[in-house]
Structure 1
C-alpha cells in the first residue's frame, strides 16, 4: 500500500498540471508516480526539464536500458514495472533484452557498455574506476556521452527513490524485482 495519499486530478497543483497533462496524453493514463511528484510543482517541473533535455541524448534503446539497469540496482519495483512496460510497448524492446538490461548487459555491444556503466555508477555511488571509463569510451561513447549516461542515471535514481520511499502502488503490469 502506498505510504502517501495520491492526489486526485482536482488536487493536483495548477503549476504541475501541464506536465501531468503531457504525461497523461502520452501514456493515456496518469501514473501514480506523477501524481506523487505533482505534489511539488518544483520537483515535477525540474524532473520534466531534465527528462526533456535528456530525451534528446543517446539512443532510445540505450536510455531504456539505463533506466532498467538503474532501477534494478535500486530495487525499485515500480520503475522496473513502468520501464519494462514502456520498453516493450513504446520502444519495441523484446523481453530477452529487457532481462539483459536489468542485469547491466545487452545483446548490442554499445548498449551493453552503457548499461554496465550505469549499473556500476549505482553500485559504487558514482565512484567508478579508470577501467570503467576506459571500457565505456572503447565502446564508442564520448566524454559528453558519459556525462549523459551519468545524468540519465541520476534522473532514474530520483524516481527510484520517490517510489521506494513511498512504496508507490504499481499501475503498470507488475514486474518482480528478482530476476528469473
Structure 2
C-alpha cells in the first residue's frame, strides 16, 4: 500500500507544482511514481534531470534495460522490475534473456560482462578492476558507454529506492 499520496499540479506546492504542471501539459498525465516524487521538488527535479540525461547515453537501450532488470532484481522494486521487463519485451528481448538478466548474466559474453559491471556498481563499486574495464573495451564498449552504466545504475537506485520507501507496487491485474 502506498505510503504517500500522489500529487497533482493543483495539490503540489512551489517548484513541484511547476514541474508537475509542465509534465501534465506536455504529456497529459504522469505516473504514480512521478506524481509521488512531487512531495520533494529536489527528488523530482533530480529524477527528471538524470532521466533526460540518460536518454542521450551511448549505451544501447536493450543493454540498459538488461542492466536495469539485473539491478532491480537485486534491489527488490517490483514496480521498476515490471517496468523494465515490459520495456525489454517491447524492444524484442526474448523471455530467456530477461530471465538470465534477472540472474545477473546473459547468453552473449559481452552483455554478461556489462551486466556484471552494473551489478558491481550497485553492490560494490570499489571492487571494479582495471582488467575488468580493459575486458569491456576489448568487447567494444567505449569509455563513454562504460561510464553510462554508472548513470543507468544510479537512475535505478533512485527510482527503486523511492518506490520502496513510498510503498509503490505494481498494479495487480485481475
Relative to the length of structure 1, the TM-score reads 0.79
Structure 2 unaligned regions, length at least 5:
none
The 2-side partners of 1:148 and 1:80 are apart by 20
Query: Cα–Cα, structure 1 residues 73 and 8, in superposed 2: closer, same or farther, change >3 Å?
Result: same
Q: Which has the larger radius of gyration?
A: 2
- What is the aligned length? 168
- 1:16 aligns with 19
Indicate the RMSD between aligned Cα atoms, in angstroms: 2.4
- 1:73 aligns with 74
Aligned residues of 1:67 and 1:83 also touching (Cα < 8 A) = yes
Aligned residues of 2:9 and 2:18 also touching (Cα < 8 A) = no
- 2:62 aligns with 61
Cα offset, 1:43, TM superposition: 2.2
Cα offset, 1:126, TM superposition: 4.9
Cα offset, 1:48, TM superposition: 1.7
Query: Cα–Cα, structure 1 residues 124 and 100, in superposed 2: closer, same or farther, change >3 Å?
Result: same
Query: Cα–Cα, structure 1 residues 112 and 77, in superposed 2: closer, same or farther, change >3 Å?
Result: same
Structure 1 unaligned regions, length at least 5:
174-180
- 1:151 aligns with 151
Aligned residues of 1:47 and 1:155 also touching (Cα < 8 A) = yes
Aligned residues of 2:64 and 2:152 also touching (Cα < 8 A) = yes
Aligned residues of 2:23 and 2:30 also touching (Cα < 8 A) = no
- 1:39 aligns with 39
- 1:48 aligns with 48
Relative to the length of structure 2, the TM-score reads 0.82
Cα offset, 1:21, TM superposition: 5.2
Query: Cα–Cα, structure 1 residues 126 and 83, in superposed 2: closer, same or farther, change >3 Å?
Result: farther
